[in-house]
Chain A
Amino acid sequence: MTRAAGWLALGVLVAAPLLIVLGMGFGTATSGVPPVIPPWSASGWQGSLEAWGLVLSDPYYRDALWQSLRLAFITATLCLVLGFGMAMGIAAAPPARQFTWLALVLLPFWTGFLLRVSAWVGLLRDSGWVNTMLMKLGLIEAPLRLLHTEGAMILGMVHAYLPFAVLPLYASLARRDLTLEEAAADLGAGRWRVLFTITLPLAAPALAAAFLLVFIPAVGEVVIPELLGGPEALLVGRAIWQEFFQTLDWPAAAALATALLALLLLPVAAFQRLAAR
């Protein structure tokens, strides 16, 4: 019974929307409502491969995909390094204190996502807090361009996604067997040796999970690049958004979304093989 309900939920909430998006990629754009002619009708196949041809051949989309992967990679790597340090610190704290630290890590979720990103706009814009302070201290004459830069975009991404890296790393590090690290020290390994030969290799599954938990949603991120990034940041999430809402080319948007999904299945599959070992 529960099993059937589970499959029903999966079918309605996951499989059906995916199939609709997949099908839409083979449809034809039109100026009606909805602005797409489905690939199947009562009279049979009427779809086209035009959208897929466009998405796969036009360098505009290829660049958008590449830029997105690059941004997601930088974000995930930074989150991994910062998150590992934080998780190690929390796991080393006295048990009663650990809960407090974890609550602080999760505290940003109590405010809305848009609000948090907008706060960065307030901090970083030309008349914002950071520039005002720097000018009052006499360190700069004119406001620095902080907002709408790649730096601001990466800062916003890391800030938004860091908890997703901290939590799986903490869960793994808090449960680790500390006697292994003592044994390594006993056998002559210094602190960094212990970290690189014992702690990190044994945390590999958690490191991979934390990386993917940040990387996968970061690839399709729309809001943060839109608000904090520069106009040159043409990312795949933005491209899908534009095709869907501005040029109303639903088949191209659908084909792009499907391509992105297919691409993201690769690291997930790699992770599953790693975890199965």
Chain B
Amino acid sequence: MTRRFGAAVALDALSLEVGAGEFVALLGGSGSGKSTLLRLVAGFDRPDAGRILLEGKDITALPPQARDVAMMFQSYALFPHMDVAANIAYGLRRAGMGGRDIAARVAELVGLLRLEGLERRRPSQLSGGQQQRVALARALARRPALVLLDEPLAALDAGLRERTGLELRALQRRTGASFVMVTHDQAEALALADRVALLDTGRIAQFDTPRALYERPATRAVARFLGAANILEADGPVPLDAATPAPAYALRPERIALRPTVPTRNGTEAMVEEVAFRGADTLVLARAPGGLSLRVVLVAGQATPEPGQRVALAWEASALAPLSA
């Protein structure tokens, strides 16, 4: 699909296939096109070129109300003039379901999302977490084939986010619907999704499982976006010895170790610039000859160097993940 806004290309001939019952995260910074993609699938916007297929049927020309797709909005978009039960029942009413069936389905969703006792409350009388669950219940009510989630956890407190994310994934497995979640938080994407599509300037930079994405980033952009990996150029100041030839390699900060001596390959001398204790581990910023800055993560219990100290750093050849561009 392609979508332009004036001269700007929001989506550049992007193609993505989501399996039935799969949980896919669209990960990217602002302006990467992830929200545009979600709005196209929901039907709020039309692509300039390309098609959208749902279970084999072309839905490109269908308005939102005719698509078997439900969206959970970042702001939740709960109807403020309706109570919780009416919000959940809204889609069921539109589907022409009978009163008794609606009541039964609403009760089922209220149980599923632990909203008991809140049925008669207005959205303004709910906490953020409760509002999030009502929005999810409303989206799931009609058992859509595909559920779209726009930054579903962004509006929650940090403490609530992790637990709610895991609940979200458990719910996705229980309902069997396909979930497509938009997020800018890479930890969230890696933790929840079966597969993660990393978007960069309207293209998919990489679409892979979280583990593959993390361990074998395809390009410099992916490596840089995913948790501040070190990028080492093949012809850079540090001599490398990797199994696969490539123009550059990603090196995860936790794969670098302190050694008594500098090896001839896959290692360097460096000057420690900053040391930050982070609880489970310690982050060390070190500068190697040639101006190369390296991030090193040392697990707790290891001896940590002092700022200003000279250290020898080394890594295994297998720790170097080849980058294609």
Q: Which residues of A contact B (CB under 8 A)?
A: 177, 179-180, 182-190, 193, 197-198, 201-202
Minimum Cβ distance to chain B for residue A190 (Å): 6
Contact: B91 with A188, CB < 8 Å?
yes
Is B100 close to A, CB under 8 A?
A: no
Separation in Å of the A61 CB from the closest CB of chain B? 42
- Complex: how many Å from CA A248 to CA B81? 53
| In the complex, B63 has a CB within 8 A of chain A | yes
Which chain A positions have C-beta within 8 A of B90?
A: 184, 187, 189, 197
Of chain A, the residue at the smallest CB distance from B63 is A185
Complex interface: stretch among B19-27, B64-72, B226-234, B296-304? B64-72
Q: Please name all residues of chain B whose beta carbon is closer than 8 Å to the beta carbon of A188 when the two chains form the complex.
A: 65, 91, 94-95, 142
**Is A186's CB under 8 angstroms from B79's CB?**
no
Instruction: Please measure, in the bound complex, the distance between the C-alpha atom of A16 and the C-alpha atom of B197, giving whole angstroms.
Output: 73
Is the interface on chain B under 10, 10 to 19, 20 to 34, or 35 or more residues?
A: 20 to 34
Residues on the B chain within 8 Å of A180, using CB = 77, 79-80
Contacts of A197 in B (CB 8 A): 90
Residue B73 CB within 8 A of the other chain: yes
A183 touches B77 (CB 8 A): yes
| Secondary structure class of chain B's binding surface, majority of residues | loop
When distances are taken between beta carbons in the complex, the residues of chain A under 8 Å from B42 are: 182, 186
A193, B73: Cα distance in complex, Å: 20
Q: How far is the CA of A217 from the CA of B63 in the complex (A)?
A: 44
Q: Could you name 20 residue pairs across A and B whose Cβ atoms are closer than 8 Å?
A: A177-B77, A179-B75, A182-B71, A182-B73, A183-B71, A183-B73, A183-B77, A183-B79, A186-B42, A186-B43, A186-B65, A186-B69, A187-B70, A187-B91, A187-B138, A187-B141, A188-B142, A190-B65, A193-B94, A201-B81
**Residues of the B chain whose Cβ atoms lie less than 8 Å from the Cβ of A185:** 43-44, 63-65
Please name the residue on chain B nearest to A190 by beta carbon.
B65
B77 in complex: contacting residue of A179, A189, A190, CB < 8 Å: A179
A contact residues around B65 at 8 Å (CB): 185-190
A177 to B74, CA, bound (A): 13
Contact status B94-A198, CB under 8 Å? no
Told that A186-B43, A186-B44 touch, could you supply 20 new A-B pairs with CB distance under 8 A? A179-B73, A179-B77, A180-B77, A180-B79, A182-B44, A182-B73, A183-B138, A184-B79, A184-B90, A185-B43, A186-B71, A187-B70, A187-B94, A187-B138, A187-B142, A188-B65, A188-B91, A188-B94, A193-B94, A202-B80
Q: Which residue of B lies closest to A179 (CB)?
A: B77
**8 closest residue pairs by CB, A with B:** A188-B94, A187-B91, A183-B77, A185-B64, A179-B77, A188-B65, A186-B71, A186-B64
Give complex CA distance A189, B73 in Å. 16
Determine the chain B residues whose CB is within 8 A of the CB of A190 once the complex forms.
65
Q: Bound complex: CA of A180 vs CA of B142, how far in Å?
A: 18
Instruction: Give A182 to B63 CA distance when docked, in angstroms.
Output: 11
A40 to B296, CA, bound (A): 96
Q: Which chain B positions have C-beta within 8 A of A187?
A: 65, 70, 90-91, 94, 138, 141-142
Closest A residue to B70 using CB positions: A186
Q: Whole-angstrom distance between the alpha carbons of A184 and B43 in the complex?
A: 12
Complex Cα distance, B73 from A179, in Å, reads: 8
B residues in contact with A179, CB < 8 Å: 73, 75, 77
Cα-based distance from A36 to B73 in the complex (angstroms)? 69
Q: Which residues from chain B contact A198 at a C-beta distance below 8 Å?
A: 79
How distant is A197 from chain B, measured CB to nearest CB, in Å? Answer: 8
Bound complex: CA of A179 vs CA of B42, how far in Å?
12
Give chain A nearest CB distance to B80 CB in angstroms.
Answer: 7
| Minimum CB distance partner of B67 in chain A | A186
Q: Whole-angstrom distance between the alpha carbons of A201 and B73 in the complex?
A: 21
Q: Look across to chain A and name the residue whose beta carbon is closest to the beta carbon of B64.
A: A185
Query: A197–B95 Cα gap in the complex (Å)?
Result: 15
Contact among A177, A189, A201, A202 for B94, CB-based, below 8 A: A189
CA distance A146 to B27 in the complex (A): 67
Compute how far the CA of A183 lies from the CA of B95 in the bound complex, rounded to whole angstroms.
15
Report B34-87 residues with CB < 8 Å from chain A CB.
42-44, 63-65, 69-71, 73, 75, 77, 79-81
Min CB–CB distance A205 → chain B (angstroms):
11
